[in-house]
A and B are shown apart, each in its own frame.
Chain A
Amino acid sequence: MSKKLGVIYSPYQLDEQEIKTVVAHFPVLREREIKNVVLEDLLAGVVIRYDTKLIDLSLSQGLQNLKYHVYENY
């Protein structure tokens, strides 16, 4: 049976060691076939997608959330 897919989006192409570090932090990726996609818009950090779930740890999303937080409270 083929492994399920897990996608790591990053602002630059990650090497094997970096991918292993990310997978080590997210147990849900361990049994999956990992694919690395480059998206420069992320600025920094990674976005992890598996099945229909998304974990957004990118700098661009962080800045967006911060902007929203300041706009709502100030």
Chain B
Amino acid sequence: MKIIDQNVQDIEKEIDSYHPNVKTEEIGWVTEVKDGVITLKGLDNVSYGEMITFDSGVTAMVIDLLEDQVGAIVLGNYLSLQFGDLAKATGKTLSVPVSDEIIGRVVNPLGEVIDGGSPIKADTLYPVEKMAPGVVARKSVTVPLQTGIKAIDALIPIGRGQRELIIGDRGTGKTTIAIDTILSQKGQNVICIYCAIGQKNSKVAGLVELLKENKAMDYSIVVSAAAADPASQQYIAPYSATAIAEYFLDKGKDVLVIYDDLTKHAYAYRQISLILRRPAGREAYPGDVFYLHSRLLERSCRVTEEYGGGSITALPIIETLENDVSAYIPTNVISITDGQIFLESDLFNSGIRPAINVGVSVSRVGATAQAKAMKQVAGRLKLDLAQYREKAAFAQFEGDLDEETKSLLGRGARMSQILRQKKNNPYDLATQVAIIWAAKGGYLDALPVEEVEIFEGKLVEALHTRGKKLLEKINDKKILGEEEEKELEKFVKELVK
């Protein structure tokens, strides 16, 4: 049979299977169109969050129900809408189509592909807005999520199911930390979702390229609502990303979601709220701006075996102005998350990268979500660094200091040096443990501080060429036993000579 005959047969079968049914639709008419937000009259029985459609195919989501009018945000080209256009309620809430095929793709907040590839065949639809799992469904965070960044994995450890905020001024390396965390998830059975909100298209394209080069797109998804996209898409983007994460969570997987960044998300919501003439509060944000982020971040958790045993780890990013963490949105999100990684522009400009202020940064989950090997070497590290910073002011009087203080300052300077790391260069657990073990054991005390970086490079190279078995042992067992320490000592002493 010719292919065309087969196609015609298939279409006839589809037509025969079609059963039209009569239904009553709720309708309304556009009365105002303002920058992605429309006001309609009619739609008397529509629900909050319900989708409405127009004949042109444009869809909108109802977010304002008033006595005699309905407000909706347009999820498409609002420029095509006119006064009097007919809107029909669909009876459905906003959902994003999901399936395993979405892995490796770049999509918009509606689930439509924007990477030029073929459309995704969806298994199911997941609601964009959803209640977070209750207390009974949750399990405590105990499994580490390795970021591959020594300063974070040693001092501010993150666990699967935790929400850890990355906060700092523009250009301090927030996105770099997020991307390095994604790169570090290779082979860790974690699905990564990067949600770009209000970012430049060029930046998102660059990030996708970087992920492809490092084969990270094999386990990652990018959800993008760029700066040029309407505020409505920027508003729903993080919720869509979380809905996609929940699809994988329900399958028992561990998921990492990065929201870059929630400051722009708050700006988009402020724009929509002001157009809808909602009362403006502090800094012109609407009164429910806390709830905007709390309901988003509460959906990230670790669930019990009964609910699949998976987890969603969230790394929200907030941009501060002039390092002001006491501003409105930063304080809101700090109080929601389970810790923060604070990046300072002074540290960044002085060459300390990642520019993490270890004193102010915290992980409320802490060592509970840290691999035992890392706990063994980094247990006292935060305290030692705090003592070093306190005594560093005396460094200028070095000639007048006692030997113990000089030695403490020397050790602290070398420990601070090994916490520096190049961008897009994450280390696995074993390599991190080896480097920190060498510094903690005093093997670097004889080296000038300027040569510590060179030593670290040589140690990494030596371990990755001649020490593969040792690294594998530490990575598998996640413990630094006596045998492993002896082997490590051989490598370190050889290089120090």
B42 interfacial contact with A, CB 8 Å: yes
Q: Which of A55, A62, A66, A70 contacts B24 (CB 8 A)?
A: A55
* Interface-side segment among A13-21, A30-38, A45-53: A45-53
B413-447: contact bitstring with A at CB < 8 Å (1 yes, 0 no)?
Answer: 00000000000000000000000000000000000
In the assembled complex, the CB of B11 is this many whole angstroms from the nearest CB of chain A, namely: 6
Tell me how many residues of B have a C-beta within 8 Å of chain A.
Answer: 19
Q: Is the CB of B22 within 8 A of A57?
A: yes
Q: Is the CB of A49 within 8 A of B27?
A: yes
A61 (CB) vs chain B CBs: closest residue: B20
Interface residue ranges, B against A (CB under 8 Å): 10-11, 14-15, 17-18, 20, 22-28, 42-45, 88
B42 (CB) vs chain A CBs: closest residue: A52
Q: Is the CB of A53 within 8 A of B26?
A: yes
Q: Which of A52, A54, A56, A70 contacts B15 (CB 8 A)?
A: A70
Known: A62-B20, A66-B18, A70-B15. A52 touches B10 (CB 8 A): no
Q: Is the CB of A56 within 8 A of B25?
A: yes
In the assembled complex, the CB of B121 is this many whole angstroms from the nearest CB of chain A, namely: 11
Chain A residues with CB under 8 A of B10: 74
Known: A66-B15, A70-B14, A73-B14. A54 touches B25 (CB 8 A): yes
User: In the complex, A18→B43 CA distance in Å?
Assistant: 29
Q: Is the CB of B27 within 8 A of A54?
A: yes
User: In the complex, A74→B22 CA distance in Å?
Assistant: 23
Q: Is the CB of A54 within 8 A of B22?
A: no
Interface residues on A, range: 10 to 19
Q: Which of B20, B22, B25 contacts A53 (CB 8 A)?
A: B25
Chain A residues with CB under 8 A of B15: 66, 70
Q: Which of B11, B45, B88 contacts A54 (CB 8 A)?
A: B88
Q: Is the CB of B43 within 8 A of A74?
A: no
In the assembled complex, the CB of B21 is this many whole angstroms from the nearest CB of chain A, namely: 10
Could you jot down 28 A-B contacts, CB within 8 Å?
A: A49-B27, A51-B44, A52-B27, A52-B28, A52-B43, A52-B44, A53-B24, A53-B25, A53-B26, A53-B27, A54-B25, A54-B27, A54-B88, A55-B22, A55-B23, A55-B24, A56-B25, A57-B22, A62-B20, A66-B15, A66-B18, A66-B20, A69-B14, A69-B18, A70-B11, A74-B10, A74-B11, A74-B14
User: In the complex, A74→B18 CA distance in Å?
Assistant: 12
A71 (CB) vs chain B CBs: closest residue: B14
User: In the complex, A49→B15 CA distance in Å?
Assistant: 28
Chain B residues with CB under 8 A of A69: 14, 18
Known: A49-B27, A53-B25. A65 touches B11 (CB 8 A): no
Known: A52-B42, A52-B44. A65 touches B20 (CB 8 A): yes
Chain A residues with CB under 8 A of B20: 62, 65-66
Q: Is the CB of B26 within 8 A of A52?
A: yes
Chain A residues with CB under 8 A of B22: 55, 57
In the assembled complex, the CB of B7 is this many whole angstroms from the nearest CB of chain A, namely: 9
In the assembled complex, the CB of B462 is this many whole angstroms from the nearest CB of chain A, namely: 58
User: In the complex, A12→B28 CA distance in Å?
Assistant: 25
Known: A54-B26, A54-B88, A69-B14; 20 extra A-B contacts, CB below 8 A, are A49-B27, A52-B26, A52-B28, A52-B42, A52-B43, A52-B45, A53-B24, A53-B26, A54-B25, A55-B23, A55-B24, A65-B18, A65-B20, A66-B15, A69-B18, A70-B11, A70-B14, A70-B15, A70-B18, A73-B17
User: In the complex, A51→B15 CA distance in Å?
Assistant: 33
In the assembled complex, the CB of B13 is this many whole angstroms from the nearest CB of chain A, namely: 9
Chain B residues with CB under 8 A of A65: 18, 20
Chain A residues with CB under 8 A of B88: 54
